[in-house]
Amino acid sequence: MYSKKVMEHFRHPRNMGEMKDPDGIGQAGNPICGDVMTIYIKVKDGRIVDIKFQTFGCAAAIATSSMITELAKGMSLEEAMKITRADVADELGGLPPIKMHCSNLAAEALHKAIEDYRRKHSL
Amino acid sequence: MSFYEGEWMKVYLDNASSTMIAPEVVREMLPFLNEMYGSPASLHNLGVLARDALEKARERVSELIGASVGEIHFTSGEAESNNIAIKGFCRANRKKGRHIITTNIEHPSILQSIEALKKEGFEATSVPVNERGIIEPSRIEDALRRDTILVSLMYANHEIGTLHPIEEIGRMLKERGIAFHVDATYAAGRIPVNVDSMEVDLLSLSSHTIHGPKGKGALYIREGTSVEPLMNDGFKGIVLITMDVAGAVGFGRACKIAKERMGDMKRVQKMRDELIKGITEMKETYLNGDGKMRLPDNANFRFIGIEGEALVLSLDAEGIYASTGSACSSKELKASHVLLGLGLSPVEVHGSLRLSLSRYNTMEEVEYVLEKIPPIVGRLREMSPVWREVGRGKGLNEIMKEMSG
């Protein structure tokens, strides 16, 4: 069902954990549905210098959140806001159709983290 | 049977999904896949051999459940047996009434067959089980109407392994002249099943859940019970005539072994209890369903804060094969209706794990599993925002409210 890359990110997720004093926090999903993602970002000079994720969900949910942190790390906030679910799914070598919503949640959580940062810094 | 390969083992704990075919069963089937290929309907010797083998298999199935040979009909498995039992019986008896009773945790083939009958003018009542997964006979009694013609239940539940009080319900229904269908698929070979002490009129069985080949099952129809056929093959039977002699022979041998080796279940129960003890020692980890009224080989757990598909795949990487009732793991993205029927919240259902043993498992395998599960659960919990909030002292209802945006 899952590509090698998805299984790799599931078995060895990148940037997993809670962040102390994050500059922005974004959360997407719903525990009732079975997927919740939290993304923490640290921002310096308009760039994401550190990023972490926590996920309650299936292998696809864990893999997509891991992948999006890998993609977003080092990006400017503008670039990171442009990451789409398709980008995440493509980087993972594709996802089964019923799991595409996981990549959507990952993008949503990241964008919310950026919006949270901007709100806190009145940008 | 365990396959020890280097540092890790392959431990099969998904026997409720399907079982290994017993080696003796494969051996007994082989001639009917090779030189004994006659049709049981043919007049010549090759046909006679096939017919005799079929009848011997039928006899073995009947002996497992205390029925007469003529009351056993071969089907393609549990789902087909359930369909014929429910649809065939109700259609044949529609003049006597239109009301059917079942519970909210029965097998999908039972629930869907009943749904289909609603389109033909039948009505159904789904009686809720208690939080331990067991139906109280009084609740069925309260649901009975003058026009109730059938009650359909599983003896043992496929997901949580709990047992309904079948004999008590059977007696109650016999007194009132209401037909009783029992799906004994998961009970057969694990606990005694007897059509007379259970007072059943229709009973479903499956081959591949008792170490027989896939694609075979049986429907017991008590003599004198009217059942309309669902499909026609030009003959007068209620069920299509079986050409699959090999499958029937395999199923028959599996039934014989199941009856002879029922004593193995004592050892299986010990392994089950070791798993329950070890796993429920973990924080926020619980057994789903009644602790006593359950099969000797099945234990379904909920691990608060983590998701079942991630758990099953993590176990898979360690050579441990199990299943889950989480929504993410199902094709329709629906959480287990059985676990929801116990009154569990969706979050709890998503974190479920079903472990189902067989006589071929060993205590060494159980110890391996108990060693591997805690670090896997620990890793997934460390990763989980739900578990993070549990750690902050929040209850699940609060967490679900807060995180539902």
Cross-chain CB nearest to A54 (options B313, B345, B384): B384
Answer yes or no: are the C-beta atoms of A37 and A103 closer than 8 Å: no
**pTM reported for the whole predicted model:** 0.94
**ipTM (interface predicted TM):** 0.95
- Weakly modelled stretches of chain B, pLDDT under 50: 1-5
The pLDDT of residue B6:
52
Give the nearest partner residue to B306 out of A33, A35, A56, using CB atoms.
A56
For residue B337, what pLDDT is reported?
96
pLDDT the model gives residue A10: 96
Q: Which of B1, B69, B313, B328 is catalytic?
A: B328
- The answer to whether A16 contacts B346, with C-beta atoms less than 8 Å apart, is no
* Secondary structure percentages of chain A, helix, strand, coil, to 5: 45, 25, 30
pLDDT digits (tens, 9 = 90+) for A94-112: 999 999 988 899 999 999 9
Strand order in the sheet with A24-30: A24-30, A35-44, A47-56
Question: Chain B residues with CB inside 8 Å of A54's CB?
Answer: 383-385, 388
CA separation (Å) from A90 to A8, A25, A83, B183? 15, 25, 11, 46
Best mutation target, B302, B330, B350, to test chain A (most A CBs within 10 A)? B350
| Of B247, B144, B116, B135, residue with least CA distance to B182 | B135
pLDDT at A123: 63
C-beta separation of B325 from B339 below 8 A? yes
By the 8 A CB rule, do B384 and B305 touch?
A: yes
* 3 state SS of B352: strand
Give B85's DSSP letter.
Answer: I
- Determine the pLDDT at residue B404: 84
Residues in chain A with pLDDT values less than 50: none
- Residues of A acting as catalytic residues: 33, 102
| pLDDT, tens digit, 9 for 90 and up, residues B164-218 | 999 999 999 999 999 999 999 999 999 999 999 999 999 999 999 999 999 999 9
By the 8 A CB rule, do A63 and A37 touch? Answer: no
DSSP B215-266: T-EEEEE-TT-----SS--SSS-SSPPP--HHHHHHHHHHHHHHHHTTTHHH
d(CA B350, CA B363): 28
Residue B328 to residue A29, Cβ atoms within 8 A: no
B255 catalytic, yes or no? no
Q: Rounded to 5 degrees, what are φ and ψ at B42?
A: -80, 155
Predicted pLDDT at B405: 64
Torsion region of B333: left, alpha or beta (phi above 0 gives left; psi -120 to 50 gives alpha): left
